[in-house]
Amino acid sequence: DQQVKQNSPSLSVQEGRISILNCDYTNSMFDYFLWYKKYPAEGPTFLISISSIKDKNEDGRFTVFLNKSAKHLSLHIVPSQPGDSAVYFCAAIYTGRRALTFGSGTRLQVQP
């Protein structure tokens, strides 16, 4: 039972344009959501997070949107840069449990 789903395995965008990565979840208990970025041969690196009491969190070029009613979150990267090319994982957690539940990832390729 996949509680966190990233239905797009890959995404390709042009440098300077917006990248939108999507994530859906099924467990209503999740109350905190995170995005991690992973380069080859490295561990995941934390990017940005959002609490379920918010619907938007912004950090520089990265913005995460949360739609609780739809159980959907998205990561926007504006403008996209070639260095953003990596695999992006959506993860979720709920109070009382300490383990993250990850999606399967979306490979983003930003073309120069």
Partner 1 sequence: DTGVSQDPRHKITKRGQNVTFRCDPISEHNRLYWYRQTLGQGPEFLTYFQNEAQLEKSRLLSDRFSAERPKGSFSTLEIQRTEQGDSAMYLCASSFSQMMNTEAFFGQGTRLTVV
Does residue number 25 form part of the binding site for partner 1 (CB under 8 A)?
A: no
Q: Which stretch binds partner 1 (CB under 8 A): 12-20, 44-52, 54-62, 71-79?
A: 44-52
Q: Which of 13, 21, 34, 73 binds partner 1 (CB under 8 A)?
A: 34
Does residue number 60 form part of the binding site for partner 1 (CB under 8 A)?
A: no
Cα radius of gyration rounded to whole Å, the chain: 13
Is the bond into 79 cis (omega within 30 degrees of 0)? yes
- 68 Cβ partners below 8 Å, 6+ apart? 52, 55
Strands (E), 29-103: 32-38, 45-51, 56-59, 62-67, 72-77, 86-93, 101-102
Does residue number 101 form part of the binding site for partner 1 (CB under 8 A)?
A: yes
Nearest approach, Cβ of residue 86 and partner 1 (Å): 14
Where does this chain bind partner 1 (CB under 8 A)?
A: 4, 6, 9, 31-32, 34, 36, 41-46, 49, 51, 89, 91, 93, 95, 97-105
